[in-house]
Each structure stands twice: as C-alpha cells, then as structure tokens.
Amino acid sequence: MFLRIDRLQAELPPPRRKDPNQAAALQELLGGKYGEMSTLGNYMFQSFNFRSKAKLRPFYSLVANITAEELGHVELVCNGVAMVANGPDSEADDSGDGGDLSQAPFADMANIRSAASFLSHAGGAVPVDSNSMSWNKDMVTTTGNIVTDLLHNFHLEVGARLHKLRVYETVTDPCAREVCGYLLVRGQVHAHAYALAIKNITGVAIENMLPVPNIPADRIPECQKYLNEGSHRRLYRFSPDDYTEMKGIWGNGEMALPGDPPGELEVVDGPPEGGKIHDLTGMPSAFTPDYAPEEMYEVATKLWKASR
Ligand code: MN3
C-alpha cells in the first residue's frame, strides 16, 4: 500500500508567467517515452510482479522503494506543468463570474501547441508527451527476469537523463528549469542504483559508463543545490518501516560517481523535506473550480471548521 504526504519532493519556484508552450515541453518529462509515467509504470509493475521476493529482498526492496519516489516525481512534474501553463498563483481572481465570456477571454489559447491542454484540462497535466500523444502500457517492460528488468531500468534512467537535458535546453521559466534540475539529480541516483544492483548479480560494473550523456550534473546551475546537500548520494526510504534491505546495494561502502561531490552512498530513513504544493488559483471564466464558486467556498469553510 501507499502512504500520501501533502508536499512535493522539491520546492518549485513560482513560474514567471503563464506559458502553455513551455508547459507542453515539460509534458515530455511526464508522458514521453522516458518520462516519469514510464519510470513509475516500469518499477511499479515490476515490483508487483517480482518473483522470489523473500530470497531477493535487497533487489525487491530497491525496485519497490524507487517506485514510491517515482510516484512523487509524477506529482512533481504534474505540478510544474500546471504551474507553468497557468502562471503565478493569484489571490484575487478565483471568485466571481470571471467577466464577459462573449469577449473570448481565452482567444490566445487557440494558438498554443496543445489546445487540448486548456480546452479539456484547463491547463492541468495529463499523461501525454510534448505533442499530446497518450502515454500507454507499451512503455512498460516487466519480463520477470531480474537482469533484463534491471538492465531495462538502467537504460530507462539514462534515456530519461537525455530527455531532461534536452527539455532543460528548451525552457527558460525558473519553475520548469527547477523541475529539470531536481529530476536530473534524482534520475542519476536511480541509474547508479540499478547499475549497482546489476553489478551485484553479474559482476559487471556498468556504473563506470555514467554519466550518460557525458556531462557532469554540476554544469547545470539548477542541479547545484541538490548536489551540495548530497541528494546525488541519497536514496530516501518512503515507508515507516519497510524496504531497509536496499541498504545492502545503496551503501555498503559504495561511493558517489567520480564527477560528483564525493562521499559515501546512504539510505535516508524517510522522505526528503521537499516543498509546498502551490495553490493553483482557480479561473471562474474557465469554470475552475466553477463559475461563481463563492457558495462552494462557503460550504468548504464550514466543513473545514467542523473538522477542527
Ligand atoms: Mn524519476
């Protein structure tokens, strides 16, 4: 089962302005071939289908725990997409009737790359890529053969790094860039972790080929603070008591990759501190959360008071 915490895994700065096309670029990191839906889907189904779990605890524990982190990555990218698509939170404009609808208040939305992202989803994120192509189960590999699955996961994380670097090169918004910077560091941890798992089983030290692409993370300014705090050496444990066995793979005297700040790999007991989830201000003229929502707000306030 999964626990849920009402925070994001990283603190996202507010977007500079509403920019649906940059949000569409960011969608590649959600529903693209190597996006977070793919990493989540692969590790989640592999962990559900894992054979001989009792005898292979460290490997099962690693895949199962990274699954939980990936669910949080899906959440992080979705928040980033919606924030950039909608612009900074506003205190003022989520009540009332939103003005005269006959004046085409959203005329500019007819010309964005993914008009459906506004017309169907009000600037929210959905599991599609940057061209609005649906993510689907063909992105999931779960063979039941542990070496094949781990090799696939290693490839997936390397592909994801390539993805993130290219998306990073296309966006200028600070919120979109922060999403890329955080996920670049975490994706490298996962590539490294799957490499160590493969090495333990096969003796092949494929971590020596990292990083792929061959650019150190410290060349990306948005990665710097995560490297400084040691995120590249940490696997967080997303459970009160479980998945401790992965310490045999991530730890056990293994060190950070040569191009990164040095230090020993460690499992942190608990999630990262993370950051707040933005309010994502409603737009009554787009009927989110509704046209003239005051009564709904009043009901919610009463219910909230009753819950105290
Ligand atoms: Mn990820």
Q: Are residues 184 and 289 in the same domain?
A: no
Which portions of the chain are predicted below pLDDT 50?
none
Q: Are residues 56 and 115 in the same domain?
A: yes
3 falls within a domain:
no
Q: Are residues 224 and 130 in the same domain?
A: yes
Q: Are residues 120 and 193 in the same domain?
A: yes
Q: Are residues 46 and 135 in the same domain?
A: yes
Spacing, Cα 250 to ligand 1 middle (Å): 17
Residues 176-201, buried b or exposed e (16+ Cβ, 10 A)? bbbbbbbbbbbbbbbbbbbbbbbbee
Spacing, Cα 110 to ligand 1 middle (Å): 32
What is the model's pTM?
Answer: 0.97
How confident is the model over 185-244, as pLDDT tens digits?
999 999 999 999 999 999 999 999 999 999 999 999 999 999 999 999 999 999 999 999
Spacing, Cα 83 to ligand 1 middle (Å): 19
Spacing, Cα 160 to ligand 1 middle (Å): 8
269 falls within a domain:
yes
240 falls within a domain:
yes
Spacing, Cα 97 to ligand 1 middle (Å): 39
Q: Are residues 266 and 305 in the same domain?
A: no
Spacing, Cα 26 to ligand 1 middle (Å): 13
Q: Are residues 256 and 126 in the same domain?
A: yes
Spacing, Cα 107 to ligand 1 middle (Å): 35
Q: What is the CATH number of the domain that holds 125?
A: 1.20.1260.10
Domain around 305: 283-308
Q: Are residues 259 and 290 in the same domain?
A: no
Q: Are residues 46 and 77 in the same domain?
A: yes
Spacing, Cα 124 to ligand 1 middle (Å): 20
Number of domains present in the structure of the chain: 2
At residue 97, the pLDDT reads 83
At residue 265, the pLDDT reads 98
At residue 94, the pLDDT reads 87
